[in-house]
């Protein structure tokens, strides 16, 4: 082996994100290519993508329209400055998203990831209240078990303990609603859980404690994905909407996972019939092909900034790559693909079959709960004594060896296949998980 090859193949330099680096490097799982529902590993093994990458490849891998659009765009306009300049595709994409979004959410701010969408929405919330003369509204409220990306605002309002505990004091003035995960009352419920809407009333307690005039926004995932697919109890999101509206508090839905068809509708807000003031998105926006996020904000929020002298910047926020032309081309092609292939409708039509298949795992060893919505599913396992997360991780590794890629969070196995999945592939995915649990 010559020196160059040695350097190229050394696994040491890459510090991998959210990865057990030493475990991985001892037994690497490397992907060489992908198409549709499948990866091919560097050893030439075909592995089904049971998670749409990281919940983002909704149209399947290498969807042709998106590939072509990106290739064309790189040839035509690779980059354009995002500040005090524009290019047509950014405006076209914003208009398309405004049209797709529920109700009055018709202004769009571009970012490059889910984490940046969250930071953007939190900052817009604070600046919105200030612009309206309510500068005292600085408190942000998240929820236990919430995942809002990895930047400081997001981990401050987030509620996944390991994502927070190594990183100091975080943002001040943040409070957390209780989570709604309750296996004792809601275990093995098909559809939305019956119990837990009253947990939204905790917000009234916070209003009483802190004063509504100090609270800027509440941020929740309509369906908490990263904490293990936790569905909102019946009536819970409606209650949050009522209470936030009553007290002039903005409601932000973090839809980085649920937007763009994952639940069989364009947005989780549509699926659950609740319209927030802002929606954060990323992932499926470009089908994962180019990093991009978008924050959808209501007319009222946007208009509150459009005051003062015309030559002044209204919001001191933005990224070098906001509305990057290649990302915009990918997103426009992704939206075209979703529409022309009717993928949101497809996800909706598969929802029952998917849930039925997952619930067939009810009596497998170690299974303590199963949850499903849209084309998202979770199988929660009884943790091994003194070895939390190991049971799920072992199951994941076995399934990988058997040809299916899953995801674990804690002792929960999470699944979110591309929306192009066939019924026979659902059987294969769930059957392989069943075999991995048996093993």
Ligand X SMILES: Cc1ncc(COP(=O)(O)O)c(C=O)c1O
Binding residues for ligand X, rule: CB under 6 A, are 113-115, 118, 147-149, 221, 225-226, 254, 256-257, 282
What angle separates helix 423-438 from helix 343-359, to the nearest 10 degrees? 30
To the nearest whole angstrom, how small is the minimum distance from the Cβ of residue 32 to ligand X? 23
Based on CB atoms, which residue is closest to ligand X, 254 or 411? 254
Query: Does residue 124 contact residue 315 with C-beta atoms inside 8 Å?
Result: yes
Least separation in angstroms between residue 225's CB and ligand X is 5
Q: Which residue has the tokens 């769930």?
A: 430
CB of 249 to ligand X, least distance (A): 20
Residue 298's nearest CA partner among 131, 112, 104 is: 104
Which two three-digit tokens encode residue 339? 């529409």
Name the minimum Å distance from CB 18 to ligand X. 9
Residue 195, class by beta-carbon neighbours within 10 Å (0-12 exposed, 13-18 middle, 19+ buried)?
middle
C-beta of 189: minimal distance to ligand X in Å?
A: 22
**Residue-wise burial string across 265-278, b where 16 or more C-beta atoms lie within 10 A, e elsewhere:** bbbbbbbbebbbbb
3-state secondary structure of 246: helix
Return the number of other C-beta atoms located less than 10 Å from residue 281's C-beta: 26
DSSP state of 387: B
CB of 112 to ligand X, least distance (A): 8
Q: Which is nearer to ligand X, 175 or 221 (CB)?
A: 221
CB-based contact 283:55 (threshold 8 Å)? yes
Q: How far apart are CA 114 and CA 120, in angstroms?
A: 10
Closer residue to ligand X in complex, CB, 416/432: 416
Between residues 52 and 304, which has the closer beta carbon with respect to ligand X? 52
Q: Using only C-alpha atoms, what is the Rg of the chain?
A: 22
Between residues 126 and 219, which has the closer beta carbon with respect to ligand X?
Answer: 219
What phi and psi values does residue 285 have, to the nearest 5 degrees? -55, -40
User: CB of residue 150 vs ligand X: minimum separation in angstroms?
Assistant: 6
Q: Which is nearer to ligand X, 143 or 302 (CB)?
A: 143
Nearer to ligand X, 225 or 276 (CB): 225
Read off φ and ψ for residue 234, nearest 5 degrees: -55, 130
Q: Which tokens sit at 388?
A: 């939390």
Instruction: Give the separation between CA 295 and CA 110, rounded to whole angstroms.
Output: 6
CB under 8 Å to 297, separation ≥6 — which residues?
105, 107, 108, 109, 121, 124, 277, 278
Minimum CB separation of residue 217 from ligand X in Å reads: 15
User: Residue with CB nearest ligand X?
Assistant: 114
Quote the least distance from Cβ 290 to ligand X, whole Å: 12
Which one, 154 or 434, has the nearer CB to ligand X?
154
Residue closer to ligand X by CB (options 87, 317) is: 317
């Amino acid at each position: 082996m010559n020196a160059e090859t040695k350097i190229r193949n050394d696994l040491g330099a890459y510090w991998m994100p959210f990865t057990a680096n030493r475990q991985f490097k001892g037994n690497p799982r490397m992907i060489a290519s992908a198409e549709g529902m499948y990866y091919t590993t560097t050893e030439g093994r075909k592995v089904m993508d049971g998670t749409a990458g990281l919940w983002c490849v909704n149209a399947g891998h290498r969807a042709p329209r998106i590939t072509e659009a990106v290739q064309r765009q790189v040839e035509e306009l690779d980059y354009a400055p995002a500040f005090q300049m524009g290019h047509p595709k950014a405006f076209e994409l914003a208009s398309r998203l405004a049209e797709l979004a529920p109700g009055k959410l018709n202004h769009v701010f571009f970012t490059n990831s889910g984490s940046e969408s969250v930071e953007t929405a939190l900052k817009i919330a604070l600046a919105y209240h200030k612009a309206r003369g309510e500068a005292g509204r600085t408190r942000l409220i998240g929820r236990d078990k919430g995942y809002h990306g990895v930047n400081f605002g997001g981990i401050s309002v987030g509620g996944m303990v390991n994502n927070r505990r190594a990183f100091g004091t975080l943002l001040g003035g943040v409070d957390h609603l209780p989570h709604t995960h309750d296996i004792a009352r809601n275990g093995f419920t098909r559809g939305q859980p019956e119990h837990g809407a009253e947990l939204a009333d905790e917000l009234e307690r916070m209003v009483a404690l802190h004063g509504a005039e100090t609270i800027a926004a509440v941020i929740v995932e309509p369906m908490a994905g990263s904490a293990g697919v936790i569905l909102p109890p019946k009536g819970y999101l409606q209650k949050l909407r009522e209470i936030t509206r009553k007290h002039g508090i903005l409601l932000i839905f973090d839809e980085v996972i649920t937007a763009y068809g994952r639940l069989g509708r364009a947005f989780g807000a549509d699926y659950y019939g609740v319209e927030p003031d802002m929606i954060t998105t990323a992932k499926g926006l470009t089908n994962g092909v180019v990093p991009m996020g978008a924050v959808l904000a209501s007319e009222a929020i946007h208009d509150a900034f459009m005051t003062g002298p015309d030559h002044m910047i209204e919001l001191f926020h933005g990224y070098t790559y906001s509305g990057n032309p290649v990302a915009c081309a990918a997103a426009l092609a992704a939206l075209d693909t979703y529409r022309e292939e009717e993928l949101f409708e497809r996800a909706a039509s598969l929802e029952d079959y998917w849930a039925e298949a997952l619930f067939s795992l009810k009596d497998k060893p170690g299974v303590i709960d199963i949850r499903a919505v849209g084309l998202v599913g979770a199988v929660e396992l009884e943790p091994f004594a003194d070895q939390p997360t190991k049971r799920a991780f072992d199951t994941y590794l076995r399934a990988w060896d058997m040809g299916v890629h899953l995801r674990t969070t804690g002792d929960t196995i999470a699944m979110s296949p591309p929306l192009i999945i066939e019924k026979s592939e659902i059987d294969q995915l769930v059957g392989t998980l069943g075999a991995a649990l048996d093993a």
